Amino acid sequence: MSDHRPIRVVGLNGSPHHQGNTVALMGWVLEGCLAAGAETDWIHVVDYDIQYCRGCFTCLRTGECPIKDDFLALRSRLLAADGIVVGSPVYADAPPAVFKAFLDRLTLLNLYTNTFDRQFSIGVATSGIAPTTGVANSLASMFGRSSGVIGAKTSSVARGYKPLATAHDPNLPGKARALGRRLVADIRGPHRWRVPQREYLIYLLLTRTFLYPMVVGNPEQFGGVLRIWAEKGHAPGGRKIHNNKWIGDLS
């Protein structure tokens, strides 16, 4: 990627609050992106009309969700970005309902087509006392190739609960800004090789032994998936297409 092309990074805020702990931590990451020369913007999911996933599987058959709300417009804004800083508070070991609805709408088609395979991402999670790493890793892996994750807790024995913006580890803003600079560097490349995460290796094994045969063998159920694979020229995991045929041992 040319260093002269503008880099666009979107902050995808999954919190129900426009100003809160998650936005504070994401803001420091985006400051690092700005310092590295990127253009940044915010998306607050709470501002959009996102209905619940109905589990109808239409997206697999057609390639699009049939529900008429703000989902497609929001997804299009994310697809136009080069990098996504995605953040969420941790509610009961998971993102809150306002964000989970959007994630559910993405998940099924993303599983088969790796929707954000062009983007790089950073996962951000905040909580009072709950672990944050799992949610941050999950978000980063959903929205692109992970450049890293960061989490923060806002409660302690000594001070109880304090907003992250006013009481935090003094090293935290610097760490977050450094992650933002790394994200922009990863987008610009050259891309450095990293040891794949265990979850990704399991996913590759799953696609080879289960997803590929199921999709190719049932085109009436997975027509949308096959169309997206053909448009991209490959399926998730890198299996190439030539003259509408899969190059490999699936036939």
User: Is the model's pLDDT at 241 over the cut of 80?
Assistant: no
Query: CB neighbours of 86 closer than 8 A, spacing ≥ 6?
Result: 12, 14, 121, 122, 123, 124, 139, 140, 142, 143
Read off the pLDDT band of 248 (50, 70, 90): very low
Helices 97-113 and 133-142: crossing angle, nearest 10°? Answer: 50
Q: What is the percent of the chain with per-residue pLDDT over 90, rounded to a whole number?
A: 68
Please compute the mean of the pLDDT values over residues 148-170 and round it to a whole number.
88
Give, as one character, the DSSP assignment of residue 233. T
Read off the pLDDT band of 237 (50, 70, 90): low
Per-residue HEC secondary structure of 78-130 comes to HHCCCEEEEEEECECCECCHHHHHHHHHHHHHHHHHCCCCCCEEEEEEEECCC
Q: What are 233-239's contacts with CB under 8 Å, separation 24+?
A: 235/113, 235/207, 236/112, 236/113, 236/114, 236/117, 236/203, 236/207, 236/211, 237/203, 237/204, 237/207, 237/208, 239/207, 239/212
Q: What is the pLDDT of residues 27-62, one digit of tens each?
A: 999 999 999 999 999 999 999 999 999 999 999 999
Read off the pLDDT band of 250 (50, 70, 90): very low
Please compute the mean of the pLDDT values over residues 195-199 and round it to a whole number.
55
Pick from 139, 31, 33, 145: nearest CA to 89: 139
Question: pTM for this one?
Answer: 0.88
- Whole-number average pLDDT of the chain: 88
Kindly list the distances between the CA atom of residue 9 and the CA atoms of 43, 84, 107, 124, in Å, as whole numbers in the listed order: 11, 6, 21, 14
User: Is the model's pLDDT at 79 over the cut of 60?
Assistant: yes
User: Helix, strand or coil for residue 39?
Assistant: strand
Q: What is the pLDDT of residues 108-157, one digit of tens each?
A: 999 888 899 899 999 999 999 999 999 999 999 999 999 999 999 998 88
All structural domains of the chain: 8-188 (3.40.50.360), 198-246 (no CATH)
User: Is the model's pLDDT at 80 over the cut of 90?
Assistant: yes
